[in-house]
């Protein structure tokens, strides 16, 4: 009987780990950005609002990547300390981002189903959702320091379970810095390279000084390069529904952080090419923080919106922002 109780407790603990621990996250709405108020243009985008998030639990922070994981505004973040933070976006009656609710946190596991053993292996930087038959099926996560890519199952829109390692070229997996694999995104059906995974390094330059990248796909596989603005580095990527690629760039300015969002035409996104594009929007100063995460989703009213988030590096003096934009007509 004691043995049976021990088994029951072990199963309960395992179930608790899968479900994650609940977090109370406080959100304050952001109603202006770079001098623009709600629904006003900022470069080639329209500002739709945002939130500044905080929590008393010190596991909330370091949000370095974000992806939509379910059809009802569910999403998940990865953190610098090797956790998945999951929740659902809520909106007010005016369609403005109001908060992040139903938030849980759980450790990212290795291929044996155990928590990652040390910080060197925990530095998750980006994720995107894998779809099967049009439904969210899993997430693909990139890591720096111990550079690798791994897939994780989705359960009720929350990622977890044992890692399934994704094979990478030797030059990429041999990178061992905190500026290695910063961006991962998966091409949508409208893309000429539909289903392919785009990987962009933060600071692993090719012979011409551009950022090295790699494309994983059935028919589309191989190296490419990405051209960023001088002094900025790619920190995440996401695809628009039409197949154009968005790349978030981050830099430092006299006022602190700077950022830019670049749009690469769909027909440029292929192996062997140099990816470049027009800047949709740029910002610096107090309107932003350490902007690292990017995803595209459909708002409750069906509008395609772009979410850009910041990584506060678990510092009290930085912010966890989530800003929302629409494309200008």
Q: Is the pLDDT of residue 126 over 50?
A: yes
Give the 3-state secondary structure of residue 28. Answer: strand
Beta strands in 24-115 (DSSP E): 26-30, 32-33, 36-37, 41-42, 45-54, 63-68, 74-79, 83-91, 97-107
DSSP letters, 262-281, are EEE-GGG-STT-EE--EEEE
What count of other Cβ atoms lies within 10 Å of the Cβ of residue 329?
5
Tell me what pLDDT residue 6 has. 37
Tell me what pLDDT residue 20 has. 87
In this prediction, residues 119-141 reach a mean pLDDT of: 96
Q: Is residue 191 part of a domain?
A: yes
Which residues, 6 or more positions from 308, have their beta carbon under 8 angstroms from its beta carbon?
Answer: 248, 259, 261, 291, 293, 294, 321, 322, 323, 324, 325
| Number of domains composing the chain | 1
Confidence of residue 129 (pLDDT cuts 50, 70, 90): very high
**CATH number of the CATH domain containing 168:** 2.115.10
The DSSP secondary-structure symbol of 191 reads: S
Strand 222-226 and strand 274-275: pairing? parallel
Tell me what pLDDT residue 19 has. 64
* 108 closest CA partner among 141, 61, 148, 75: 141
Q: Is residue 27 part of a domain?
A: no
Q: Is residue 180 part of a domain?
A: yes
Tell me what pLDDT residue 12 has. 36
pLDDT cut 70: percent of the chain above it: 94
Segment 173-200, tens digit of pLDDT: 999 988 999 999 999 999 999 999 999 9
Tell me what pLDDT residue 7 has. 31
Q: Is the pLDDT of residue 1 over 60?
A: no
Q: Are 226 and 208 in contact (CB under 8 A)?
A: no
What count of other Cβ atoms lies within 10 Å of the Cβ of residue 289?
22
Q: Which tokens hold the place of 54?
A: 């905080």
Which residues, 6 or more positions from 184, have their beta carbon under 8 angstroms from its beta carbon?
Answer: 65, 126, 127, 128, 140, 141, 142, 149, 197, 198, 199, 237
Q: Is residue 60 part of a domain?
A: yes
Q: C-alpha distances in angstroms, 299 versus 91, 231, 324?
A: 9, 33, 10
Tell me what pLDDT residue 252 has. 84
Range of the domain at 154: 41-327
In this prediction, residues 8-25 reach a mean pLDDT of: 58
Strands, sheet with 181-186, edge to edge from the N-terminal-most edge strand? 181-186, 197-205, 211-216, 222-226, 274-275
Tell me what pLDDT residue 18 has. 46
Segment 278-318, tens digit of pLDDT: 999 999 999 999 999 999 999 999 999 999 999 999 999 99
What count of other Cβ atoms lies within 10 Å of the Cβ of residue 302?
7
The DSSP secondary-structure symbol of 55 reads: -
pTM of the model: 0.93
Q: C-alpha distances in angstroms, 207 versus 19, 212, 225, 264, 291?
A: 46, 10, 10, 21, 27
Confidence of residue 11 (pLDDT cuts 50, 70, 90): very low
Give the 3-state secondary structure of residue 19. Answer: helix
Q: Is the pLDDT of residue 2 over 70?
A: no
Which residues, 6 or more positions from 290, have their beta carbon under 8 angstroms from its beta carbon?
Answer: 250, 257, 310, 311, 312, 313, 318
Q: Is residue 9 part of a domain?
A: no
Tell me what pLDDT residue 255 has. 72
Q: Is the pLDDT of residue 4 over 70?
A: no
Q: C-alpha distances in angstroms, 244 versus 33, 104, 193, 269?
A: 25, 32, 11, 8
Q: C-alpha distances in angstroms, 46 versus 37, 41, 158?
A: 9, 4, 30
Q: Are 179 and 233 in contact (CB under 8 A)?
A: yes
Q: Is the pLDDT of residue 103 over 90?
A: yes
Tell me what pLDDT residue 178 has. 87
Q: How many CA atoms lie within 13 A of 179 on its CB side?
A: 11
Give the 3-state secondary structure of residue 234. Answer: strand
Segment 27-84, tens digit of pLDDT: 999 999 999 999 999 999 999 999 999 999 999 999 999 999 999 999 999 999 999 9
Segment 222-265, tens digit of pLDDT: 999 999 988 899 999 999 999 999 999 999 877 789 999 999 99
Q: Cα(10)–Cα(13) distance, rounded to whole angstroms?
A: 5
CA dihedral 44, 88, 150, 289 (to 10 degrees): 50
């Amino acid at each position: 009987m004691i043995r049976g109780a021990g088994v029951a407790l072990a199963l309960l603990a395992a179930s608790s780990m899968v479900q994650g621990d609940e977090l109370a996250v406080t959100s304050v709405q952001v109603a202006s950005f770079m001098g623009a108020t709600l629904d006003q243009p900022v470069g080639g985008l329209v500002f739709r609002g945002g939130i500044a998030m905080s929590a008393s639990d010190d596991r909330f922070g370091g949000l370095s990547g974000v992806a939509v994981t379910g059809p009802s505004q569910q999403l998940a973040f990865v953190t610098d300390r090797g956790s998945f933070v999951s929740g659902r976006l809520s909106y007010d009656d005016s369609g403005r981002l109001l908060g992040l609710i139903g938030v849980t946190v759980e450790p990212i596991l290795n291929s044996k189903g155990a928590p990652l053993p040390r910080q060197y292996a925990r530095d998750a930087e980006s994720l995107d959702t894998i779809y099967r038959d049009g439904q969210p099926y899993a997430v693909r996560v990139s890591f720096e320091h111990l550079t690798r890519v791994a897939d994780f199952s989705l359960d009720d829109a929350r990622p977890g379970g044992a890692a399934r390692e994704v094979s990478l070229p030797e030059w990429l997996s041999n990178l061992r810095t905190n500026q290695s694999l910063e961006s991962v995104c998966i091409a949508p059906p409208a893309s000429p390279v539909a289903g392919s995974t785009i990987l962009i390094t933060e600071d692993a330059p090719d012979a011409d000084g551009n950022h090295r990248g790699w494309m994983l796909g059935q028919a589309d596989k191989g190296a490419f390069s990405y051209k960023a603005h001088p002094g900025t580095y790619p920190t995440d990527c996401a695809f628009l529904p039409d197949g154009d690629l968005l790349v978030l760039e981050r830099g430092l300015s006299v006022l602190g952080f700077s950022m830019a969002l670049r749009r690469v035409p769909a027909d440029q996104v292929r192996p062997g090419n140099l990816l470049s594009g027009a800047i949709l929007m740029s910002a610096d100063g107090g309107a932003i923080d350490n902007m690292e995460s990017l995803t595209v989703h459909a708002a409750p009213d069906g509008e395609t919106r772009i979410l850009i988030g910041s990584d506060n590096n678990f510092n009290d003096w930085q912010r966890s922002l989530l800003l929302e934009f629409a494309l200008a007509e």
